[in-house]
Amino acid sequence: MSDRFSDPAWVVLDGGANQGLYTLLAASVVGPAGRVLAVEPSSRELGRLATAIRINKLANVTVVPVALSDAAGEGDLLVAESEHGGHNAFGKLRYAEVRVVDTVRVRMRTIDEISDECKLERLDFVKLDLEGYEAKALRGAGQTLERFRPTLLIEWPTGEGGPEVEQDCQELLDLLEQFRYVALAIDPGTGLPSERQMAIGPSENVIAVPE
């Protein structure tokens, strides 16, 4: 995200905020007139996120302590060892070398529910880094995507899942087509969205823009 793609009044949803790297970046870009919703279920990462918000004196960040999914409920979050906190996941971790140190019961909410509960009047940018739950989060965001048409930054499925990763890629592409979005690759040289449409296959991130 950069000031080329935002304005000071933007509302940003950081799905899978973790320790807050994207949250801090978004909060600095949108400024006091904007708003950032930092969505993170892990209590360990929430503590680190709260510290980052406090140190940086961010008044425009709202922390939402839940996991994103396609329905409200609860789930068991596998918490990875501290140095790999970005790999916390449901079901299983994507990388065999990353060790699970805890399993915690967390609340799940949809993006549509969060949008209603936070009384959003606009939503301009959504980042999803959910370790395999990106498609579930999109399935729970249909009303919000239709109403606000935000730009999406999605961590594309990678890891050691084999055919499972390819299936996740296809599911994401199908959902984006259903919601009338176009997935674009990010140019590794410039860091900007490429004009060519994203092909099926693993990538670091993709930008999805409404048609």
Its pTM stands at: 0.90
163 within a domain of the structure (yes/no): yes
Contact predicate 14/37, CB 8 Å? yes
Strand-by-strand arrangement of the 35-39 sheet: 61-64, 35-39, 11-15, 125-128, 151-155, 205-210, 181-186, 193-197
The answer to the question of residue 128 being in a domain is: yes
The answer to the question of residue 34 being in a domain is yes
**Residue 200 scores a pLDDT above 50:** no
Summarize pLDDT for 70-99 with one digit per residue, the tens: 999 999 999 999 888 888 999 888 778 899
Number of domains in the chain: 1
Strands 193-197 and 181-186: antiparallel
pLDDT digits 0-9 by tens, 100-151: 999 999 999 999 999 999 999 999 999 999 988 999 999 999 999 999 999 9
CA–CA distance, 156 with 168 (Å, rounded to integer): 9
Q: Is residue 36 part of a domain?
A: yes
Asked if residue 186 lies in contact with residue 203, where contact means CB atoms within 8 angstroms, the answer is yes
- Give residue-wise pLDDT tens across range 174-183: 999 999 999 8
* 181, 209 Cβ separation under 8 angstroms: yes
Give the integer Cα–Cα distance in Å for 161 and 31.
39
CATH number at residue 193: 3.40.50.150
**Residue 77 belongs to a domain:** no
Residue 81 lies in a domain: no
Q: Which domain holds residue 184?
A: 3-70+110-210
Position 131 in a domain: yes
Asked if the structure places residue 99 within a domain, the reply is no
